[in-house]
């Protein structure tokens, strides 16, 4: 259902998704309220993660909840180390209905700030590592399409154009890595 309070999810083609978000310098009540709104949007979608730019907020912030471990927030996150390779059928709330197998590092070490302002380092692999890479990309104006191989991107863009013309309830499209 469409939301009227400015918290609708921005989709592919919206320029806000292509620009880099600004560092969070002030953790205050407004930021806490923002995270609450982000969780609401993410759970309603539903999705595993949501980055600020996806609701038009150009701040380096994302929220996530993977494997029902509960809600988490990360501010100003960076990938410190990455290793390995892992193929995952990746989706994005801003590219609804399209899932594409993308090869990315399997393990990452991410550093950022928690909502209480403390520096945190999180080691992640597989799904959580993928989520971190995907959400941090959003904060840098990078989308799934930018992580695809050239032929795969061409194919995925064509499929997405078709999807956009169909009703939202259409079957999702899954593209394999060939
Ligand atoms: Zn996304």
The closest alpha carbon to 53, from 101, 12, 114, belongs to: 12
Report how far ligand 1's centroid is from the alpha carbon of 140 (Å): 12
- Non-local CB neighbours of 135 within 8 Å, separated by 6+ positions: 49, 50, 51, 62, 64, 74, 77
Report how far ligand 1's centroid is from the alpha carbon of 65 (Å): 14
Token readout for 8 is 């609708």
Catalytic annotation, residues: 135
- Report the pLDDT value the prediction gives residue 96, as an integer from 0 to 100: 94
Report how far ligand 1's centroid is from the alpha carbon of 132 (Å): 10
Task: Give the pLDDT means over successive 10-residue stretches in the chain (178 positions).
Answer: 66 96 97 97 96 98 92 98 97 96 97 97 97 98 96 95 86 88
The closest alpha carbon to 119, from 80, 82, 81, 83, belongs to: 80
- Report the pLDDT value the prediction gives residue 4, as an integer from 0 to 100: 46
pTM: 0.94
- Report the pLDDT value the prediction gives residue 6, as an integer from 0 to 100: 55
In the chain the first and final C-alpha atoms are separated, in Å, by 35
- List the domains of the chain with CATH numbers: 15-175 (3.90.45.10)
- Report the pLDDT value the prediction gives residue 168, as an integer from 0 to 100: 77
- Report the pLDDT value the prediction gives residue 170, as an integer from 0 to 100: 80
């Amino acid at each position: 259902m469409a939301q009227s309070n400015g918290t609708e999810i921005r989709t592919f083609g919206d320029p806000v998704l292509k620009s880099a978000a600004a560092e969070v310098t002030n953790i205050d009540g407004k930021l806490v309220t923002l995270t609450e709104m982000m969780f609401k949007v993410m759970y309603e979608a539903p999705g595993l993660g949501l980055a600020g730019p996806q609701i038009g907020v150009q701040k380096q912030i994302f929220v996530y909840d993977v494997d029902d471990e509960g809600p988490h927030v990360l501010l100003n996150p960076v990938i410190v180390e990455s290793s390995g390779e892992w193929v995952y059928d990746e989706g994005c709330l801003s590219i609804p209905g399209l899932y594409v197998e993308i090869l990315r590092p399997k393990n990452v070490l991410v550093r950022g700030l928690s909502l209480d302002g403390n520096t945190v380092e999180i080691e992640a692999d597989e799904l959580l590592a993928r989520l971190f890479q995907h959400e941090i990309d959003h904060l840098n104006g990078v989308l799934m399409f930018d992580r695809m191989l050239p032929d795969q991107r061409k194919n995925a863009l064509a499929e997405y154009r078709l999807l956009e013309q169909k009703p939202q309830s259409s079957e999702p499209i899954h593209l394999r890595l060939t």
